[in-house]
Amino acid sequence: MRRIFILTPLLVLLIICIFSLVYLLSGKDPNKPPSALLNKDVPIFESTSLYNSKEIIKTIDIKNKKTLINFFASWCSPCKIEHPLFFEIRKKHPELYLLGFNHKDPTTDAKKYLEDDGNPYDFVGVDADGLIALEFGVFGLPETYLINEDGKIIFKFMGPITKDVLKNEIEPLL
Amino acid sequence: MSSLVGFLSLVFAIGINFYLFFSRYIFKFQKQKFNLFIRFSSLLTLLSFFSLMYAYVVSDFSNYNVFQNSHSNKPLIYKISGTWGNHEGSMLLWLSILSVFSFFFSFTKNIDESFKRLTLIIQSLLHILFGLFIVFTSNPFLVNSILVNEGLGLNPILQDPGLAVHPPILYGGYVGYSIVFSIAIAGLFQNSDDEWLYVAKKWSLISWTLLTGGIALGSYWAYYELGWGGWWFWDPVENISLMPWIAGLALVHSLMMVRGEQAIKKWIVFLSILCFSLSVFGTFLVRSGILTSVHSFAADASRGIFILLIFFIVTGFGFLVFLIKEPKKSNALNLLFINKVSALVINNILMIIATLTILLGTIYPIIIEVLYNKRISVGGPYFNATVIPIMIPGFLLMSIAPILSWQTNKMQNSKKYVLGFIILSILVLIQSYFLDFNTWGLVGLLLGFWIILASIIAIFSSYKVKFNIKFFQIINPHIAHIGVGIAIVGITCSSVFQNELDFNLNEGDKFDVNGKTVLFQEIETTNQINYQALRGKFLFDIEKNQSKKIEAGKNYYPVSKIITSEAGILHQWNKDIYFILGDQKNNEWFVKVLINPFVSFIWLGVIIMMYSGIIAVTRR
């Protein structure tokens, strides 16, 4: 009995070390929290177009096509950094449906932003109150999701995507 | 050039420690020589550290570390503090402090020479482990491969006088436990007499006092720099520093109480190993970047694995020795219903439970993420709901513990205490009835004031009041507890009775804070040497002649493109009025005003605790 008592610290040490080691070796990055939604169905959403409030996009509209969803805002400077990459994606993968969600932004600012930097999206949905982002579990802008033909989220990225991310993580999935 | 000197002296210092480590088996030393070698290696490590500091001071951007973390426009003090404001430099600081402790320990006189040597050999082992870690994964002396004449700057949030001194002092506490660890292990190996307990007491008090100061500085910095109006956030990194602090508190108390009891001696060895293990574990969690917080630097898996290995070796070695070599038999424990020994045992158990609770909350997210691939965060609600209730009985016991007897259940002057407690309870009840009632507020205030009152009663009824050093040494435990009581009052008031006011204001507006009129004078932007400052200027209490100026705003650091918030705080003895300037919207500025009652009591309490720590070091 006493032995067990004295052995406890060593056991606790072992457990802590094993978990920490697995964590480190699995290449997890604290800046990239895992998404609870990965490999799950895309959440149900409904949004109006930034340019025409009568035009509506729903979850069902992106069925049967590969879709890249990007949450952006005019006030988000990292979004500006990744913005040009979407034109590149657009050019290289014309079959991919690009859906942008404008997050908590005044419409005038959003329009001006897309006027100045260009609009790479097939559809720009308005997410003025951030409810759609909430459904997707968005941590911070920008965030990008790749949805496959079955409507499952197969990739998620937090922060601005880069050329490396595009080449090594997104394109293999296309 | 200085980088080369730094690197070579570091490598040389590690080499000497290798030599010393194996000296026990291969080379035979005279005792004088051994100490000289230890001191020489310590000085070399310090030389290495100061070479890096020199590179920072002269902005030598041929050093990659300086290039990454410094800028020639930075004020001198931040160039100096930049030395440890990054991962590599801070690890070198860690090693340097280890060396400083070994250096001073090598001068200790009144212990057995072979015991001292064994302790220093264990220190050498630690030096080797962390030294190799620096050389192989975190070398601060790498040469910059490109020719540049400007650096990339230091994280602006760290450009603050409080934070410049926070890491060295905190590390002083963390690393100071290494000596206690080495002493305890050496004590196990040699199974000598109890002399080592007195030596360990002195060093653990020094470490604990430094750790207290380091935590308080960090917490004070968070209070005025992060701009959230609080001073403790249960951030993983804060928890990491709190764990060795609580364990160290248990250790210090056990060391002061021990009278040769076998069980307590064993417990002390356990705590000594635990304190240092928690320090190394903290270093691992912060340096591996496994936890995100304000303290995280660039994450690198190889570094994490290396420190994890060190943590495993050190802790595993410590507990293994503890398992194999138990301390020798001696007196049994004199446990009564309520005497000093039982109070000590109960408090120690509570402190360890609190430490383990914090440990669980801190590593729980890691375990969950490994098992379920989900990111969760454990924060204030968990810790407040678990740690605080665990501590409360301990605080109650602490108020009377110093006057309990060793041998009997009797308590001197118990009537005075009962009377004091009843009067105090009535007063606090009346106070909370007339002001806003809050259960936690009531409990906290009663507890805090009770500790203060009981300590004061104890001082005046148990000792003859004299004003000499000896008297202050005798009443020191009570003074320390008064410090804790004052801190509890401050913590309770500032967290439970905090008041928040929000305003949307134009320049020139007047508004009401706590019954005083405040004028929002103007917004001013100025260019400072390494940042642009935006300041909202407020005039507090304009009806009076001596109205107070408050400036709150933000700083923009163009080199690193970061904005920091700068809270404007009006300190009064009984409250802080805390101004935060928000964003501008529709030509109106958002201003948040927090009224934090009795925050100053927290810092006062901490200062008293540190004072007691210093006094206790001087007493044998």
Identify the domain boundary among B155, B179, B213: B155
Regarding whether B375 and B353 lie in a shared domain, the answer is yes
Is pLDDT at B311 greater than 60 in this prediction?
yes
| Smallest Cα distance from A61 to chain B, Å | 29
- Confidence band for B375, pLDDT divided at 50, 70 and 90: low
pLDDT recorded at residue A36: 55
Q: Does A1 touch chain B (CB under 8 A)?
A: no
pLDDT recorded at residue B250: 94
Is A25–B274 a contact, with Cβ atoms under 8 angstroms apart?
Answer: no
Regarding whether B383 and B320 lie in a shared domain, the answer is yes
Asked, for residue A95, whether it belongs to a domain, the answer is yes
Pair of tokens at residue B505 = 């204001």
> Mean per-residue pLDDT for B166-178?
93
Q: Determine which helix (DSSP H) or strand (DSSP E) holds B249, and give its type and residue range.
A: helix B236-257
Q: Which residues contact A42 (CB under 8 A, 6 or more apart)?
A: A59, A62, A69, A145, A147, A151, A152, A153
Cis peptide before A84 (omega within 30 of 0): no
CA distance B566 to B231: 14
Is pLDDT at A85 greater than 90 in this prediction?
no
Residues of B in contact with A36 (CB under 8 A): 374
Regarding whether B278 and B207 lie in a shared domain, the answer is yes
Kindly state the DSSP code that residue A39 receives in the 8-state scheme: T
pLDDT recorded at residue B173: 94
pLDDT recorded at residue B364: 86
B78 touches B159 (CB < 8 A):
yes
Kindly state the DSSP code that residue A172 receives in the 8-state scheme: G
Regarding whether B370 and B291 lie in a shared domain, the answer is yes
B576 touches B493 (CB < 8 A):
no
pLDDT recorded at residue B27: 59
Lateral strand order in the sheet of B499-505: B499-505, B588-597, B575-585, B568-571
Pair of tokens at residue B154 = 């230091």
Is pLDDT at A3 greater than 70 in this prediction?
no
Regarding whether B100 and B9 lie in a shared domain, the answer is yes
DSSP helix/strand/coil, A63: coil
| Smallest Cα distance from A75 to chain B, Å | 13
Q: Which residue in B288, B311, B374 is closest to A24 by CB distance?
A: B288
Asked, for residue A20, whether it belongs to a domain, the answer is no
- Confidence band for B179, pLDDT divided at 50, 70 and 90: very high
Residues of A in contact with B273 (CB under 8 A): 9
Regarding whether B171 and B143 lie in a shared domain, the answer is no
ipTM of the complex: 0.78
Identify the domain boundary among B350, B370, B390: B390
B4 touches B141 (CB < 8 A):
yes
Is pLDDT at B559 greater than 90 in this prediction?
no
Is pLDDT at B409 greater than 80 in this prediction?
no
Which domain range does residue B131 map to?
A: 1-155
> Mean per-residue pLDDT for B234-253?
90
More reliable by pLDDT, B166 or A63: B166
Residue with tokens 């950094």: A81
Q: Which of these, B512, B547, B580, B555, lies nearest to B224 by C-alpha position?
A: B580
Asked, for residue B16, whether it belongs to a domain, the answer is yes
Q: Does A36 touch chain B (CB under 8 A)?
A: yes
Which of B307, B319, B322, B323 is the best substitution to test chain A (most A C-beta atoms within 10 A)?
B319
B89 touches B170 (CB < 8 A):
no
Regarding whether B342 and B201 lie in a shared domain, the answer is yes
- Confidence band for B586, pLDDT divided at 50, 70 and 90: confident
Q: Does A94 touch chain B (CB under 8 A)?
A: no
Is pLDDT at B298 greater than 60 in this prediction?
no
Asked, for residue B588, whether it belongs to a domain, the answer is yes
Residues of B in contact with A158 (CB under 8 A): none
Asked, for residue B491, whether it belongs to a domain, the answer is no
Q: Determine which helix (DSSP H) or strand (DSSP E) holds B237, and give its type and residue range.
A: helix B236-257
- pLDDT above 70 coverage of chain B, percent: 90
CA distance B118 to B125: 11
Q: Phi and psi (nearest 5°) for B344?
A: -65, -45
Regarding whether B74 and B113 lie in a shared domain, the answer is yes
Scanning every residue of chain B, which has its alpha carbon at the shortest distance from the alpha carbon of A11? B316
CA distance B541 to B528: 29
By residue count, chain A amounts to: 174
pLDDT recorded at residue B592: 85
Asked, for residue A100, whether it belongs to a domain, the answer is yes
CA distance B293 to B291: 6
| Smallest Cα distance from A115 to chain B, Å | 23
Asked, for residue A10, whether it belongs to a domain, the answer is no
| Smallest Cα distance from A133 to chain B, Å | 17
Residues of B in contact with A78 (CB under 8 A): none
Q: Which residues contact B575 (CB under 8 A, 6 or more apart)?
A: B595, B596, B597, B598, B599
> Mean per-residue pLDDT for B274-283?
93
Is B366–A19 a contact, with Cβ atoms under 8 angstroms apart?
Answer: yes
Regarding whether B261 and B326 lie in a shared domain, the answer is yes
CA distance B354 to B382: 12
pLDDT recorded at residue B579: 87
Cα dist from B164 to B82, B154, B168, B330, whole Å: 8, 12, 8, 47
Task: State the average pLDDT for chain B.
Answer: 85
> Mean per-residue pLDDT for B560-576?
80
Is pLDDT at B297 greater than 60 in this prediction?
no
Regarding whether B253 and B360 lie in a shared domain, the answer is yes
Asked, for residue A155, whether it belongs to a domain, the answer is yes
| Smallest Cα distance from B151 to chain A, Å | 23
Q: Total domain count for chain B? A: 4
CA distance B361 to B382: 8
Regarding whether B435 and B400 lie in a shared domain, the answer is yes
| Smallest Cα distance from A17 to chain B, Å | 7
Which domain range does residue A162 map to?
A: 31-173
Asked, for residue A52, whether it belongs to a domain, the answer is yes
- Confidence band for B328, pLDDT divided at 50, 70 and 90: low
CB pairs under 8 A between A and B: 67
Is A16–B363 a contact, with Cβ atoms under 8 angstroms apart?
Answer: yes
What is the number of other CB atoms lying within 10 angstroms of the CB of residue A128?
15
What is the number of other CB atoms lying within 10 angstroms of the CB of residue A95?
7
Is pLDDT at A94 greater than 90 in this prediction?
no
Q: Does A23 touch chain B (CB under 8 A)?
A: yes
CA distance B400 to B109: 36
Identify the domain boundary among B155, B174, B198: B155
Cα dist from B130 to B64, B139, B140, B374, whole Å: 21, 12, 14, 33
Is pLDDT at B330 greater than 70 in this prediction?
no
Residue with tokens 């709901």: B385
* Highest-pLDDT range among B26-30, B154-158, B437-441, B475-479: B475-479
Q: Which residues contact B463 (CB under 8 A, 6 or more apart)?
A: B471, B474, B475
Asked, for residue B493, whether it belongs to a domain, the answer is no
pLDDT recorded at residue B432: 79
What is the number of other CB atoms lying within 10 angstroms of the CB of residue A31?
12
Scanning every residue of chain B, which has its alpha carbon at the shortest distance from the alpha carbon of A19? B367
DSSP B321-355: HHHHSPPPP-BPP---SSSHHHHHHHHHHHHHHHH
Residue with tokens 């007897």: B405
Asked, for residue A4, whether it belongs to a domain, the answer is no
Asked, for residue B490, whether it belongs to a domain, the answer is no
B63 touches B4 (CB < 8 A):
no
| Smallest Cα distance from A2 to chain B, Å | 10
B282 touches B173 (CB < 8 A):
no
Q: Total domain count for chain A? A: 1
CA angle B207, B208, B209 (to 5 degrees): 90
Q: Determine which helix (DSSP H) or strand (DSSP E) holds B566, and give its type and residue range.
A: strand B562-566
Is A19–B370 a contact, with Cβ atoms under 8 angstroms apart?
Answer: yes
The enclosing domain of A95 has a CATH number of: 3.40.30.10
Q: Which residue in B274, B308, B373 is closest to A20 by CB distance?
A: B308
Is B370–A31 a contact, with Cβ atoms under 8 angstroms apart?
Answer: no
Asked, for residue A156, whether it belongs to a domain, the answer is yes
Regarding whether B180 and B128 lie in a shared domain, the answer is no
